[in-house]
Structure 1
Amino acid sequence: MDPSVQNTDPSGPVLQAHDLRKRYPKARGWLEALKGVSLELFRGEILTLLGPNGAGKTTLVKILAGLVEPDGGRVEVPREGKRTWMGAVLEGNRNLYWRLTALENLIYFGTLRGLIPKEARRRGLELLETVGLAEKAHQTVGTLSRGQQQRAALAAALVHDPPILFLDEPTLGVDLEAQEAIRSWLLRLREHKAILLTTHQMDFAEAVANRVAILLEGEIVLEGRTREVLEGSPGAPYRVELQAPLEEGDPRLAQLRAVEAEVEGKVIRVVGEETLWQVLRLLDPLPIERVERESLSLAGLFWRVLRERSVQCSRLPT
């Protein structure tokens, strides 16, 4: 794959993938890992790619990074060239050489990507300080904790200051303290870089992502800005707040539960616009403080999409 850029508009995407397809041979037939995936990545954002194991996330990241050739489609990337336009932390713990120190790794990867050794050393020391590993600079990577290894791998991916960063499960297997350190750093990085992140940790994704995309069975089934996707989801509940809670024994309580409304004090939650109107008619003429739509959590949205996909597949003819 020969990376090239056709859109040089600074406000436009820094990376574009068009109709990417990839399949692998299996015992009988082929496994379709990607089925026509298209996406765009912009500077100043984190696009989080969600999906179950086997959805095609790692295959997609490796194609975008130029490590795997697609069977179809194309990727457009910056003009800087293969060595300097991106940095990557792939899934697993072999992103660094374990017998080298943290600093030696950063110097090696920096010079590999075009820096002179003196500049690579300066950048390496600066980044290790930033990720809280200054005291571990001369310690071999194999003796570091999992969280420290991930932070060192992030530093190595950034040593040449690439405009695009690919992170495949960067918090996998790390403790909460390391997760928080990585989260804080990513929020700072996204101000001036384009970051594609894959993760199974929904709370982490929701905390850092400007945009989300859900990949199922090699296809992107949902994509958009995080807040808009959550607020606009059909599964997001409506919240009706009364001036005072309904009294115990009020017949409307049974009627509300009959339409699957959730009653909690003076707050009533319902799903679906039709059900909302039923509830408002039941409550009339009680005074209502406000009616608003709540956001789903990213985890709730993800599992709803999975359930809907499962139902659709179960209805297909066999």
Structure 2
Amino acid sequence: MKVLEVYHLQKTYRQGGKQVQAVVDVSLTLAAGEILAFLGPNGAGKTTTIKIIAGLIRPDAGSVRILGRDPHTEPGALVQVGAVLEGNRNLYWRLTPLQNLEYFGVLRGLSPKTARQRGLELLETLGLGEKGEVAVQTLSRGMQQKVAIAVALLHQPALLLLDEPTLGLDVEAAQAVKSLIRQIAASGRAILLTTHQLDVAEALSNQVAVIERGTILVQAPTQELIRQFASAAGTYRIELEQELDPSRAERLAQQGVEILSSHQLRFRGFSEALYQVLEILKPLPLLSVKREEADLTHIFLKLLKREKKQG
């Protein structure tokens, strides 16, 4: 079931007497249980697109559907949206987690009793049951982020918008939040995730969409996109046990080998050519020869580079 459908969005602003196209052509789809990583450099149009989806600004053209309903003409459609767009800053820090949940629950149409009951259940589910009555400002950043996500989930939306959910968290807290995001998706909710941490995007997402200059460059399943960019001519990292001598370094450079350090090399090419590199290194003892796989960071940078060349 399609939870989010976005078709050919456009949005132009006037800035300093000039027309600025923030969104040129954006189309996205997101199904229940999926996590879509929405990636792009600063100024690419991500924030404007998300604000349009969240009903905060109207597009000049194009359409948004949340479970088939238009959030710009049917306010009831926004009941199906939960958002953590500014990290844990969407909380009242002097209130307790439970007070935040009760307040925002009533604000979103729940009865005080239902808001409290669901709030208590969410705090238990998120491992915050013992923290329900302490001020949010006394909690760790990871706990604050969990409370912010709980507030976004309180009214049981079908679509969750998450902006940089692990930014600034330590390793343990980041792992806990990532695990929570997977659980939320597994419960059947669709998640639109924006982040500059591409390792997080790769670890969590089912789908990836890359935006640049207001236009979607690609939307595809994450692993399929990685396979598409995995060239038959691989990239190999070679680690030596002893220091590389100048004579071999010169010969290797002629073969296109990148000298990373006196003990590490990188070679891009087919496996047949790799054996020629190893022949030059012979009989130096090797610690490892490892093929580097394509990842989202590599793909993201490659797509942006291609777009700049075409632009």
Counterpart selection for 2:157 from 142, 153, 162: 162
| 2:79 corresponds to | 84
CA distance in 2, matches of 1:234, 1:25: 42
**1:228 — aligned with what?**
224
The residue that corresponds to 2:18 in the other structure is 29
User: Structure 1 residue aligned with 2:7, among 18, 30, 34?
Assistant: 18
**Is the 2:80–2:159 contact (alpha carbons within 8 Å) kept by the matching residues of 1?**
yes
When structure 1 is superposed on structure 2, of 28-37 and 38-47 the one drifting more is: 28-37
2:306: which partner in 1?
308
Alignment of 1:160-199 (within 5 A): 160-191=155-186, 192-199=188-195
Which deviates more, 302-311 or 214-223? 302-311
The answer on whether the counterparts of 1:14 and 1:77 sit within 8 Å (CA) in structure 2 is yes
SS state at 1:204 partner = helix
Which residue of 1 is the match for residue 297 of structure 2? 299
Greater CA deviation, 27-36 or 130-139? 130-139
Report the AA paired with residue 213 of structure 1: A
TM-aligned CA deviation for residue 146 of structure 1: 3.0
Partner of 1:141: 136
Instruction: Show the counterpart of 1:245.
Output: none
Determine if contact 1:165/1:194 at 8 Å carries over to the other structure. Answer: yes
Q: Which amino acid aligns with 2:82?
A: G
Q: Could you tell me whether the CA contact under 8 Å between 1:211 and 1:225 is conserved in 2?
A: yes
Identity %: 48
Q: Distance in 2 between matches of 1:139 and 1:102?
A: 7
The runs of 5 or more residues in structure 1 that have no matched partner are: 1-9, 241-247, 284-292, 314-318
Count of residues paired in the alignment: 287
2:60 corresponding residue in structure 1: 71
Match of 1:96 in 2: 91
TM-superposed CA distance for 1:255, in Å, is 8.0
The letter of the residue matching 1:82 is A
1:150 to 137, 140, 145: 145
Task: Tell me the distance in 2 between the aligned counterparts of 1:68 and 1:141.
Answer: 30
- Which deviations, in whole Å up to 9, do the C-alpha atoms of 1:221-249 show, x marking residues without a partner? 12211111011116675279xxxxxxx99
Structure 2 residue aligned with 1:243: none
Structure 2 unaligned regions, length at least 5: 70-75, 237-243, 260-264, 278-290
Deviation, structure 1 residue 71 = 1.5
Deviation, 1:197, is 0.1
Indicate the RMSD between aligned Cα atoms, in angstroms: 3.4
Cα distance, 1:312–1:68 mapped onto 2, change above 3 Å: same
What is the TM-score with the length of structure 2 in the denominator?
0.79
CA contact (8 A) 2:81 2:158 kept: yes
Tell me: CA distance 1:79–1:216, structure 2 relative to 1, closer, same or farther (3 Å).
Answer: closer
Structure 1 residues 79 and 105, CA gap change in structure 2 (3 angstroms) = farther
SS class of match (2:179): helix
Equivalent in 34, 39, 42 of residue 53 of structure 1: 42
Residue 92 of structure 1 and its aligned partner are, at CA, apart by: 4.6
Q: Determine if the alignment matches structure 1 residue 113 to structure 2 residue 111.
A: no
Work out the CA distance in 2 between the residues paired with 1:281 and 1:94.
55
* TM-score relative to the length of structure 1: 0.77
Q: How far has the Cα of 1:113 moved from its partner?
A: 2.7
